[in-house]
Amino acid sequence: MPFAYLTIIRPLNCVMASFAVYVGSLIAGLPIYPSAPVIYALIAAFLVCAAGMVMNDYFDVEIDRVNKPKRPIPAGKISKNTALAFSIILFAAGISVSYFIGVPAFAVAVLTSALLILYAWKMKKMILVGNLAISLLVALTFIFGGLVNLNVLPVLSLALLAFLANTGREIYKSIDDMMGDRTASVNSLPIKYGVLRARMIASTFILFAVILSFVPYLLNIFRMGEVYLFFIGIADIVFLASIVYAKRSAKISKIAMLIAQITFLVAALA
């Protein structure tokens, strides 16, 4: 059973959220070795992300019975009530930790928590709104890192790239999830307008992310801009591959986003 509690929070996603916060803090001018406020930010991001994952599973039981029957709740490893309580505890813990960073970070933690709950409860079933909401949350992880040093301007371009790329990936995912979404009356783009149009919209977001990926270089955000260009070029190639290989778009774009995050880190450290 303890493994079920680990599974339900999707730890890799939570680690990636904390990773984005750390990258944001570096770009905002903080040192490589994290200070206490940065550590608080990493912990808060992990906990709030974990809470959102559990809350999402709480509301998505019927969808998961079709799309992901091995998830802890549909598999009977964790009850719905227990999952709800677990999520509330994680939200409370994450928001509490953010209080020690500062008022702006605390406000963003509260906003993020509210958005995660609204997404799982209502927004996910609203056409495109859910995709945009979750992408905004991804972008906020970088901004949260910048808030630790009260310097968000340098991270805004990275947040925009994350927003665009993740929106494309979320739409690709909605294509894969159509069967389960129909059972829960989710009004997704592919269900409403068809797979082809949904794919075109997703690909447009990805293309904009690729085109704008050169903006951080032009703004001289990184001291070693050439290092950024080299690695972001690799990420861009993988993003473009997600457009070409339709059957694996969601998975390929996720790999591309991971490469992009590593690119931000390497360029920030260079």
pLDDT tens by residue, the chain, 270 residues? 678 999 999 999 999 999 999 999 999 999 999 999 999 999 999 999 999 999 999 998 888 888 888 999 999 999 999 999 999 999 999 999 999 999 999 999 999 999 999 999 999 888 899 999 999 999 999 999 999 999 999 999 999 999 999 999 999 999 998 887 887 777 899 999 999 999 999 999 999 999 999 999 999 999 889 999 999 999 999 999 999 998 899 999 999 999 999 999 999 987
Structural domain range at position 136: 2-269
pLDDT of residue 47: 98
Model pTM score: 0.92
pLDDT of residue 1: 62
Instruction: Give the domain CATH number at 65.
Output: 1.10.357.140
| Domain tally, the chain | 1
- Three-state secondary structure readout of the chain: CHHHHHHHCCHHHHHHHHHHHHHHHHHCCCCCCCCHHHHHHHHHHHHHHHHHHHHHHHHCHHHHHHHCCCCCCCCCCCCHHHHHHHHHHHHHHHHHHHCCCCHHHHHHHHHHHHHHHHHHHCHHHCCCHHHHHHHHHHHHHHHHHHHHCCCCHHHHHHHHHHHHHHHHHHHHHHHHCHHHHHHCCCCCHHHHHCHHHHHHHHHHHHHHHHHHCCHHHHCCCCCCHHHHHHHHHHHHHHHHHHHHCHHHHHHHHHHHHHHHHHHHHHHHHC
pLDDT of residue 125: 85
